[in-house]
Amino acid sequence: MPISLATTFKQPAPGKFLSYEYSRLNNPSRNTVERVVASLEGAKYGLAYGSGMAAITTVFNLLSPGDHIVSSVDLYGGTSIYLKQVADRLNIKTTFVADVTDPANIEKAITDNTRLVWMETPSNPGLKMVDIKKVAEIVRRRKDVLLAIDNTFLSPYFQRPLEFGADIVMNSATKYLNGHSDVLMGMLLTSNDEVHDRLRFLQRTIGAVPSPFECYLLNRGMKTLPVRMRQHMENGLAVARFLENHPSVERVLHPGLPSHPQHELAKRQCYGHSGMVTFFLKGGKDECRAFVKGLKVVILGESLGGYESLIKIPALMPETYQLDVPVNLIRLAVGLEYVGDLIADLDQALRAVRSP
């Protein structure tokens, strides 16, 4: 795909334009990547943004003061902060549901002024699964309510929420879609004409669009999406099974494990699993700090979806200080390294924590 770096395009006559006018509004490189991601999600339309948060906040900009959002307690920290500290200040209130695995709890939270149900599945960091089809059926019974699903943790390779009735799908393309830890981008996908028109207006008006070079990099990354996602799944399941049987680990959450509370739902709703693993270490903050400090292959760092395995302790991160996250919960984004090296590294760090 050629990179179109032009910011403006020649007009054939005053007030007349060909395919492109100005790159904030439209750009060949951006249009290409939008079409590619839309095809992956099975969507009619795709819209690219300068980051995942730019895409997320654009959805919230569909709402007006006095409107209401239903979301989950278990939620990406950036989304939670925006809803609590920005949207709330604009008189857009949010009800955070504690247990979204039961669709009835989501239904109870919907009010007359609810305009958006925003869910992650699997959720961050608890890897809770939401039954998209059942929630979509609930939303359909209400007028003027949209269902938006954050699909970042699975990518369209392993889950396509539009197939189950979602109105909008968000992917932080920074993660699995790109897969190389060198792009910041967010994507919104929809097949609803009216929703697309409103989102496109906001994309062009707010202007939080990616550069043509980032669009080129994302298009490059998506060419290897199938092989990368299959390896992430293989490595992630191997690591999850290892951790589930380790004496230093209290509990492991991975939708691909039979022990996961929504394992059967995952089998119905997903085509596979990513490299995301959440586990609870036996101990508290000190043991968690000692564990991650002892790792030699797995990297302590933010994000996910690249070659490298990344680990974090959500309870110790600034964006989750206000959230009810157990101090011994650890989020591991399993990468593409040789899985034997990853397991050996995790094992030695866990054993070191247990040693007197």
Active site residues: 24, 76, 150, 175
Dist CA 33 CA 145 (whole Å):
29
Q: What does each C-alpha distance from 260 to 128, 131, 212, 269, 300 come to in angstroms? A: 9, 14, 41, 14, 25
Strands (E), the chain: 45-49, 68-72, 93-97, 114-120, 146-150, 168-172, 186-190, 249-253, 276-281, 299-300, 310-312, 329-333
Q: How many residues does the chain have?
A: 356
Q: For residues 273 and 253, is the Cβ–Cβ distance under 8 A?
A: no
β-pairing, 168-172 with 299-300?
Answer: unpaired
Asked whether the bond before 122 is cis by omega within 30 degrees of 0, the reply is yes
Distances 214 to 57, 131, 178 between C-alpha atoms, Å: 20, 33, 10
Q: CA 44 to CA 60: how far, in whole Å?
A: 21
Cα–Cα distance for residue pair 331/214, rounded to 1 Å: 27
Cα dihedral value 48, 54, 55, 59, nearest 10:
-140
3-state secondary structure of 311: strand
Number of C-beta neighbours around residue 227 at 10 A: 11
Contacts of 113 (CB under 8 A, 6+ apart): 66, 67, 68
